[in-house]
Structure 1
Amino acid sequence: MPESGGLESVEASQRPDSQVRVFAVPPRDNAGPLSIVDGFLEALTSDDPSYAMARKYLTPKAAKSWKPGRQTVVLVDGPTPGASGRPNAGDEGQTFSLTGQQVAKVDQRQAYEPDQKPYDETLHLSQVDTAKGKQWRIDNPPDGVVLGESDFQRIYQSVNKYYYAVDPASEESPQKRLVADPVFVRQWTDPLTETVKELLDGPTRWLNPVVITAFPTGTKLKDGVKSLAPDDANKLTVPLNRAADQVSQGRCKEMAAQMLFSLRDLSSSSVGEVELKRADGGLLCALTEPQADALVAPRMSGRMDDMYFLDGKERLVRMPGKGSSTKAPEQVPGPLGEGTQRLSAVAVSRDQERAAGVSNDGRALYVASMVTSASLGDALVRSRADHEKDRLTTPSWDGRGDLWVADRDPAKKRLLMFGQGQADQLHEVRVSRLDDEARIEAVKMSADGARIALLVTEKGKTKLRIGRVERHPDGDGGIEVSVDQLRPAAPEMDEVTAVSWAGGSRLVVVGREPDGLQQMRYVQSDGSAPTGQALPGLTRVSEIAASENDGLPLLAHSDDGVVRLPAGAAWQSVLKEGTAPVYPG
């Protein structure tokens, strides 16, 4: 600070808010029908949680019956109103059409679903008596809310709720696997409380068959609790109703872990501890973030920041992470690193004890330990296709230790799962909603083992599909495995080249839009696109790899060999002659 000199006035300028809030206005007196329709549509884009102002544009009867939470329809540019022909005989009202191009809808459980089709609905207005005379009002509003994509992105934010995977292996283990269930909550209407309520309501319909919740049926916030907020020590106290009064300490901690993980992804949340209370105010349990981390199964084990790829001699090599002094690729112990079998694709198990490799001709799949003197052994499976492009895809490990691969043989296309990577635990996986002419080009399993990302070629285009992995007893002591309810992700891309999971519900994809250039972007497993996460371009990317830890760099195989993208930096070369970059998984 200066010790001498005169005083000078400084003009203070308030830092602008990065978010824009929209406040609706009531209808003007004696407004015409079109003005009422425009005002109503504008009110739908406001940050009013109860849509109280939007209801003022409705007749009293319609205002009571209208349910804005029933669904949210998202259009490219918002609805366009227009006059809809002549009224019927005896009808003194006015009818308007609402048109646009629909891209998605959000159901009453706040689950997002891509749904591209033309939107064409009608609104009817009639005149009602008010204190200021007859006024035009809408008597049949749209089903739910309809708004444009830019307004949707401004008003809503995506958050992950977490539930436990239905998995016999996890039931025998003290650690359970969490599965992310993305939903959308309104940013300006207490997103923390809304996230807790959505968690208590249970999983979305799509994910429900493969997950369970630790919260007893009927668990809600205690009556009268309208808002939740952490205290100065970042502890969140959550009073529950009587449905949760009798849970054990172990189950209560599982409940608290679900809540902590669900709030962790919320940008406005700084919760470090959750305290669950009974309806009478007594303590059920408390759990801190470190305790929650110890309770659930890690998505990876060992050195999470090690990167793997194939060198110029088609051998498996590893680039050690930050904790190592070695900055050059090093040979991986075991037959796949020693070059016993030349490889074209590879996958490293999440415990980093084994690796699966596809032979350089794409015909055979091997699994070997990554220890010195380990033997290669026989192939788990061999493809009989004549051409290399029709043989085995890159394999993928899930968090249960199961190995997945697709055989693209035109004579016998199939998706295969090897339990614990063992040849004697082969399952041919049924895939629903897949046309007989469609072919799986790539397989990427999520860490939780409950979801699978598939690149599927159908009618000459390769698209990204996300499926739900179901496991059921087969009656003979084994299990049947199926992939159900395939749904689109990155629907705007005509040709998807590569994909990798990049978090609980996020993926990174490489592809191109119709008549566009190749691009790289993040997408959510529900098909929505995160905002503000642009990726720098790269020339002719054929493979992409991301870690479950979003602090680790992206890996890619392009014209420049194997490259990586550290946070806040540009693409960097790793190995010019390298191919098939992967993280464990």
Structure 2
Amino acid sequence: MTSRSEHPSAGGTGERDGAAELSGTAEPGGAAGRRRDGARTLSRRVRFAGALTAVALGVMLSACGAMPRSGPVHKVIEPTEQSEQTTMAFNPQAPQAGASAQEIVEGFLAAGVGAQDDYSVARKYLTPQLATTWKPDTRVLVHSGEPTTVPRLNEGEFRTSLEISGELGSNGVLTAQPAGSTRVLDFVLTSVDGQWRISKAPDGVIVPKADFEQIFAPTTLYFYSAKDPNYLVPDPRWFVKRSTASTGAVRALLSGPAGYLGDSVTSALPQTASLSRSSVPVSGGTASVDLTLANFDPADVNQAHRMDQQLRTTLRSVSSVEDVDLTINGAPVETPGSSGTDAVRAVTVPNRQIGVSNGHLAFYQGGQTEEIPNISLPQGASVSRPAMGTEATTFGFVNTADSTVYTVASGQEPEKRWSGTQLSRPSFDRVGYVWGSDRSGTVHAVRVSEDGVGDTVSAAWLDKQHVASLRISREGSRALVVTTTGTSHRATVWLAGVVRDSSGKPTELVKGNAVAADVDVDTAQWIGPDEFVTTALGQDGNAQPRRYTVAGRYDELPSLTGVTSIAGGNGPAAVYGASDGKLYMLTGSSWALQSEQVTDTAFSG
């Protein structure tokens, strides 16, 4: 299987030629007539460089003779003990003497992905003044097809249009974009020593979709669950592949969680903490983190333990790091007297599933099906989309006969919770609440131990969206949401933080971040803290299930004809799909028949 980033291809538009026709704009020095052949050659080079993503982690080309002799002053990043290594096969091309204004813009866009030496090659396309103020790390636009650059009405002004499938923010959070999403970039050029240079440009760089993962790699930050600090919550970020990834990870950790997690998580690292030096060097697999923190009490070993664990767990997701040495205010941090235990990174679920057998709720495990005893159902109920709590003693289901979600326990009468159109499968969290939504986008959550319909959870960003699936993560701090809008059959998969009050009651579902956009998906099911599976449901032909990471990478799973549900246990070895009234388990590259007595199964949660 091939891992890829989920950046949907655009539909309905063809690829555009990245080198537009040269404009009739006069060139400094009157060189247009002399260099037509050279322009064609450079234009081809620019298109080639853009298509290959030309990640600039290699040897820089020397500046041509027409470049200004007094170069710009760049910011200096203190190197780690590991020198930056060239990880890409292509290097960006510096501006050529006599290049047209349009070629300078196109060359800048192609060379802007070169991160080595603080994007020094891309800065050569800018005027000395702009080269010192341009901020390449502000954002990365992941584009599909070729950007189109055209001259504007005023001499030396150009506009580039591009279709994007993802946008990477300055904090390293990648947001998928639906097909047809576009961005417009405007440039102003002027003459510097007889050569065109860009005097006005937007911050950030562009990267072709096909090569995004050749340039960037995901690193997972970890924060503590706000409701229960005994659980760690992953927060994936994308950083340029270079030895300074450890520095980027710690800086991002000190800046706090991603916006879509909001107050669902907390950090053991105070906002007043800062790096004592500008880097986090890695030597022999050990990352040295030196922090400055006012009012830090070395005697508070429990706090020190939490800080150390948060940093250690985060940095171990960097490929070069195996261990961490933490120093605060110049003194090594030691936690031998800590009474704190390590927080849990991965919450597991029991192997037993709940399903539907002969119209009743039933347990399924290891090829055996057993109807759950002493379960009362509403009169005339048509049971679908069953679910169960973490202790497997409380159950939920959708009664399609009256479009209502019920919960029930052995020996008790079913409790009516909420009604709606196209209700999602109920989801139980570890705090004792059952969740769900419907076509209106209203999010419901009610404590299972209490009577009644409970309250709705604030989630204005879901208004008027069809929530096809809503699953609470196993530590209870995040929601995995699948939505469609209007009559569209294409979906967006979101991650959103769950905010609770001091009693554990959910109060808000923070506006989510799109992990996948414009995909053929009806359901998403957790298989771990940072993985989930998706599929389209109810299709006559083959459905294409996928396994995603929360960073947006995915693998194609074997197709399954007419799949009606998918269930995820502990990891990719525990994925089940139902089709034509039969239950299958994902086994290698195929689906193995498990049972003809149960269908529509789900693990607890």
**2:263 aligned residue (185, 203, 209):** 209
> Bigger CA drift: 64-73 or 459-468?
459-468
Provide the rounded CA distance (Å) in 1 between the counterparts of 2:416 and 2:438.
Answer: 9
Deviation, 1:279, is 2.6
Which residue of 1 is the match for residue 249 of structure 2? 195
Assess if the C-alpha contact under 8 Å between 2:527 and 2:572 holds in 1: no
Partner amino acid for 2:257?
P
Q: 2:368 matched to 1:318?
A: no
Give me the TM-score of the superposition, normalised by structure 2.
Answer: 0.75
| Structure 1 segment 32-111 matched on structure 2, within 5 A | 32-48=100-116, 50-87=118-155, 94-111=156-173
Assess if the C-alpha contact under 8 Å between 2:438 and 2:466 holds in 1: no
Provide the rounded CA distance (Å) in 1 between the counterparts of 2:244 and 2:419.
Answer: 57
| Structure 1 segment 463-482 matched on structure 2, within 5 A | 463-466=491-494, 467-472=496-501, 479=505, 481-482=507-508
Which residue of 2 is the match for residue 529 of structure 1? 552
Unpaired segments ≥5 residues, structure 2: 1-84
Q: What secondary structure, in the 3-state scheme, does the structure 2 residue paired with 1:26 have?
A: coil
Provide the rounded CA distance (Å) in 2 between the counterparts of 1:552 and 1:252.
Answer: 37
Q: What secondary structure, in the 3-state scheme, does the structure 1 residue paired with 2:257 have?
A: coil
Provide the rounded CA distance (Å) in 2 between the counterparts of 1:215 and 1:96.
Answer: 45
Q: 2:521 matched to 1:496?
A: yes
Deviation, 1:186, is 1.0
Change (3 A) 1:189 1:41: farther
| Structure 1 segment 225-264 matched on structure 2, within 5 A | 226-229=279-282, 231=284, 235-243=286-294, 245-246=296-297, 248-264=300-316
Partner amino acid for 2:500?
R
Change (3 A) 1:210 1:382: closer
**1:485 aligned residue (485, 502, 511):** 511
Q: What secondary structure, in the 3-state scheme, does the structure 2 residue paired with 1:258 have?
A: helix
> Bigger CA drift: 458-467 or 180-189?
458-467
Q: What secondary structure, in the 3-state scheme, does the structure 1 residue paired with 2:529 have?
A: coil
Q: 2:412 matched to 1:380?
A: no
| Structure 1 segment 388-467 matched on structure 2, within 5 A | 390=421, 392-406=423-437, 414-419=442-447, 421-423=449-451, 426-435=454-463, 437-461=464-488, 463-466=491-494, 467=496
**2:396 aligned residue (356, 369, 373):** 356
Provide the rounded CA distance (Å) in 2 between the counterparts of 1:451 and 1:100.
Answer: 33
Assess if the C-alpha contact under 8 Å between 1:357 and 1:395 holds in 2: yes
Q: What secondary structure, in the 3-state scheme, does the structure 2 residue paired with 1:485 have?
A: coil
Provide the rounded CA distance (Å) in 2 between the counterparts of 1:445 and 1:316.
Answer: 22
Deviation, 1:262, is 2.2
Provide the rounded CA distance (Å) in 2 between the counterparts of 1:32 and 1:287.
Answer: 67
Deviation, 1:204, is 1.8
Provide the rounded CA distance (Å) in 2 between the counterparts of 1:519 and 1:565.
Answer: 13
Q: What secondary structure, in the 3-state scheme, does the structure 2 residue paired with 1:123 have?
A: strand
Provide the rounded CA distance (Å) in 1 between the counterparts of 2:414 and 2:345.
Answer: 30
Deviation, 1:314, is 3.1
Assess if the C-alpha contact under 8 Å between 2:354 and 2:361 holds in 1: no
Change (3 A) 1:300 1:69: closer
Q: What secondary structure, in the 3-state scheme, does the structure 2 residue paired with 1:27 have?
A: coil
Which residue of 2 is the match for residue 347 of structure 1? 387
Assess if the C-alpha contact under 8 Å between 1:26 and 1:53 holds in 2: yes
> Which structure would you say has the larger RCO, counting Cα contacts within 8 Å and 6 or more residues apart?
2
Which residue of 1 is the match for residue 408 of structure 2? 367
Q: What secondary structure, in the 3-state scheme, does the structure 2 residue paired with 1:315 have?
A: strand
Provide the rounded CA distance (Å) in 2 between the counterparts of 1:397 and 1:480.
Answer: 12
Change (3 A) 1:187 1:257: same
Deviation, 1:438, is 4.0
Which residue of 1 is the match for residue 584 of structure 2? 563
Partner amino acid for 2:577?
A
Q: 2:190 matched to 1:126?
A: yes
Deviation, 1:86, is 4.8
Deviation, 1:534, is 2.1
Deviation, 1:396, is 0.7
Deviation, 1:203, is 1.1
Aligned-residue CA RMSD (Å): 3.6
Assess if the C-alpha contact under 8 Å between 2:465 and 2:485 holds in 1: yes
> Bigger CA drift: 152-161 or 109-118?
109-118
Give me the TM-score of the superposition, normalised by structure 1.
Answer: 0.77
